[in-house]
Amino acid sequence: MVSQIDDQGFKAKVLESPTPVLVDFFATWCGPCHAIAPTLEEISREMADRLTVVKVDVDESPDTASTYGVTSIPTLVLFKGGQEAWRRVGAAPKRTLTEELGKAVS
């Protein structure tokens, strides 16, 4: 299950996580963000043994979005060991995301 975090929880949930974390930077008003949400839920379940998926609302957590240079949404960023390891701006098909994440996580 994909959980939502905010600026205050970002360090503990993402940067200090022992496992890779995929962050979905989104907004409630963003159509493509809503379109990709079910795909991210599926990826969260299917890759649960390899990564965690969280969401950050850019309107509610502007500091984190700004820190990581998020200017378009959805933006997906994979963090490994507290460092950015992969990024994709915009929605993509599940197969594409799964393949790219599989490579980035291993």
36 is catalytic: no
Active-site residue (options: 14, 22, 33, 47): 33
Question: What's the rounded Cα separation, in Å, for the pair 93 and 84?
Answer: 22
Q: 1 and 40 in contact (C-beta within 8 Å)?
A: no
Question: What's the rounded Cα separation, in Å, for the pair 76 and 90?
Answer: 8
Question: What's the rounded Cα separation, in Å, for the pair 39 and 66?
Answer: 25
7 is catalytic: no
Active-site residue (options: 5, 21, 23, 30): 30
Positions marked active-site:
30, 33
